[in-house]
Chains A and B, each alone.
Chain A
Amino acid sequence: MRNLRGAWHYLTTGSNWGGSDGMWHLLVQQLLISVTALVVAMVIGLTLALWLGHLGRAGFLSVNITNVGRAVPTFALLAILVTLDHPGTATFGPYGRAGLATLIALALFALPPIFTNAYVAVREVPSAVKESASGMGMTGSQQFWRVELPLAMPLVVSGIRLALVQVWATATIAALVAGPGLGTLITQGFYRTDYPKGIAAALVVAVVALVLEVGGALVERAVDPNRKGTATEEAPLRARTGEPVGT
């Protein structure tokens, strides 16, 4: 309880928020690295998944990428990447120390939910709809852009939301390998037995995670064209039960 009071004191002290190692700076740094990793994973994952889903190939990959992502500990992958000679622990621009290794690990762990959801979304567009689209004389790419993608959108966005929450969690863990972001305050607090500091930073990290989750859910609801339809209501639920873990 003394630690909780200490944490509150830490949070309400203005000087802890400012400066180059203050919480604002670290918070922005962690958001920056999370969003960058998410964009990288989206460019790679969405392109591959939507294309393969349109062709109807690689169902095997979509199942296994999730399982592999779940079994490999984020911490282990971060540790290996940081110790590798190439990405290393060198400072990487605004991303800070060990920024490149963290960025690669984050992008890798964001891939499974993005890929699997986007792939399943395109695959599960009812074949009757696809048939009538081609019956109307649509070419393959017209069919993809005008029929499959709009119908797949809710599930694709739900994958991106999952990935965002996951990336935020992974970015926090990066602190265990001297990465950037708010996690460093948590590890510093614990390694130097300054528990209030660690608990305060943990609170900020948790609150931002919840904000990202709720914000993502709102965006998801906004892009869902027929959120009262039974089919779309079931689909995100199914995707969520298979939530990739790595938080």
Chain B
Amino acid sequence: MPVTLLVEDGAVRATQAFQPSCYSRLVNKWYCTDYLRDRHHDLTSALSQHLHITALSLVLGIVIAFPLALLARRLPRLQGLILGASTMIYTIPSLALFPLLVPFTGISSNTVVIGLALYALTILVRSMVAGLAGVPAEVRESATGLGYGRTRLLFLVELPLALPVIMAGLRVATVSTVALTTVGTLVSYGGLGNLISDGVQNNFKAEILAASVLCVVLAVALDALIVVLQWLTTPWTHRRRTA
């Protein structure tokens, strides 16, 4: 009995020495820690590109959405036009929107960033308009009565009160932008999408699964980050509940 065990043990060790790693073409496993260890540079650089593109698109989206939302609020006649136009952009599939931007932006990360910003814009304008419209008229009146000017009223009273609705929109925009960044692989700027694309072309299962899981993890992490940010920036929403 001990003898056979020894032999088996040796045999296993011998095959292990020659055994290809779990991500080789012969084995090609979905879940492979060797891949994570050996190729972690690929993963981190793809992840950082992904994060970079996502963050830039969201910032650009917010910067454009905010004045548009204010304009839509000021001029009710424009509101339908702004919301309608942004919904139309939203309807265009991402794989079609990126090529349509290429004549203007070329094959660069700008194509992906601008495309994703346009999608984020739709969600953000909508939530900003809804958030600002939700501020009670009495609050606005009493602030004006206290001598608040238009700008101070907007930034010190209306925006803080609209923040929960705006943040809800930002969460939706963030999660979807993370997912859509993968399609940027069409112009080779897709972050983790580049790895997924490479994985499909080479039938490399460990790469596909690792990049896909990382993408979902990134979306969930950023979503959680916004929830924490919202909790910190709107203390009155939870202080009132405890009081």
Cβ of A80 to closest chain B Cβ, rounded Å? 6
Question: How many Cβ-Cβ contacts under 8 Å join chain A to chain B?
Answer: 160
B193 cross-chain contacts in A, Cβ below 8 A? 73, 75
Stretch at the interface among A144-152, A195-203, A223-231: A195-203
B175 cross-chain contacts in A, Cβ below 8 A? 67, 70-71, 245
Q: Is the interface of A mostly helix, strand, loop or mixed?
A: helix
Q: How far is the CA of A203 from the CA of B87 in the complex (A)?
A: 17
Q: Is the CB of A71 within 8 A of B92?
A: no
Interface string of A106-150 (1 = CB under 8 A from B): 000000000000000000000000000000000000000000000
Q: Is the CB of B186 within 8 A of A187?
A: yes
Q: Is the CB of B216 within 8 A of A71?
A: yes
Q: Is the CB of B91 within 8 A of A73?
A: no
Residue B219 CB within 8 A of the other chain: yes
Q: How far is the CA of A209 from the CA of B98 in the complex (A)?
A: 15
Using known A-B contacts A72-B216, A75-B196, A79-B199, determine if residue A209 contacts B185 with beta carbons closer than 8 Å.
no
Residue A177 CB within 8 A of the other chain: yes
Using known A-B contacts A83-B199, A176-B197, A187-B186, determine if residue A210 contacts B180 with beta carbons closer than 8 Å.
no
Stretch at the interface among B71-79, B147-155, B200-208: B200-208
Contact among B97, B103, B182, B219 for A206, CB-based, below 8 A: B97
Q: Is the CB of A202 within 8 A of B200?
A: no
Q: Is the CB of B179 within 8 A of A210?
A: no
Residue A44 CB within 8 A of the other chain: no
Q: Is the CB of B95 within 8 A of A173?
A: yes
A177 cross-chain contacts in B, Cβ below 8 A? 200
Query: Which residues between 76 and 91 of chain B lie within 8 Å of chain A, taking CB atoms?
Result: 87-88, 90-91
Interface string of A57-88 (1 = CB under 8 A from B): 00000000001001111111101101100000
Q: Is the CB of B182 within 8 A of A213?
A: no
A41 cross-chain contacts in B, Cβ below 8 A? none
Using known A-B contacts A71-B220, A76-B182, A247-B91, determine if residue A203 contacts B100 with beta carbons closer than 8 Å.
yes
A interface residues, how many (CB within 8 angstroms):
50
Q: Is the CB of A73 within 8 A of B209?
A: no
Q: How far is the CA of A72 from the CA of B179 in the complex (A)?
A: 6
Q: Is the CB of B103 within 8 A of A202?
A: no
Interface string of B159-191 (1 = CB under 8 A from A): 000000000010010011011101101110000
A83 cross-chain contacts in B, Cβ below 8 A? 199-200, 203, 205, 208
Residue B112 CB within 8 A of the other chain: no
Residue B58 CB within 8 A of the other chain: no
Q: How far is the CA of A73 from the CA of B54 in the complex (A)?
A: 13
Contact among B95, B102, B208, B220 for A183, CB-based, below 8 A: B95
Using known A-B contacts A70-B172, A176-B186, determine if residue A1 contacts B123 with beta carbons closer than 8 Å.
no
Q: Is the CB of B182 within 8 A of A75?
A: yes
A183 cross-chain contacts in B, Cβ below 8 A? 95
Q: Is the CB of A243 within 8 A of B123?
A: yes
Q: How far is the CA of A247 from the CA of B181 in the complex (A)?
A: 11
Q: How far is the CA of A199 from the CA of B103 in the complex (A)?
A: 9
Interface centre among A70, A79, A186, A209 (most CB of B within 10 A): A79
Residue B119 CB within 8 A of the other chain: yes
Using known A-B contacts A1-B103, A73-B215, A82-B200, determine if residue A209 contacts B92 with beta carbons closer than 8 Å.
yes
Residue A3 CB within 8 A of the other chain: yes
A176 cross-chain contacts in B, Cβ below 8 A? 95, 183, 185-186, 197, 200
Closest CB pairs A-B (n = 10): A245-B176, A169-B93, A76-B212, A202-B99, A205-B96, A202-B96, A73-B179, A172-B93, A71-B219, A75-B182
What are 22 pairs between A and B in contact, CB < 8 Å? A3-B103, A70-B219, A71-B178, A71-B179, A71-B219, A73-B178, A73-B196, A76-B182, A79-B208, A80-B212, A82-B200, A165-B91, A172-B93, A186-B99, A187-B95, A195-B102, A198-B99, A199-B99, A209-B92, A241-B127, A246-B180, A247-B180
Residue ranges of A at the interface with B (Cβ–Cβ < 8 Å): 1, 3-4, 67, 70-77, 79-80, 82-83, 165, 168-170, 172-173, 175-178, 183, 186-187, 189-190, 195, 198-199, 201-203, 205-206, 209-210, 212-213, 240-243, 245-247
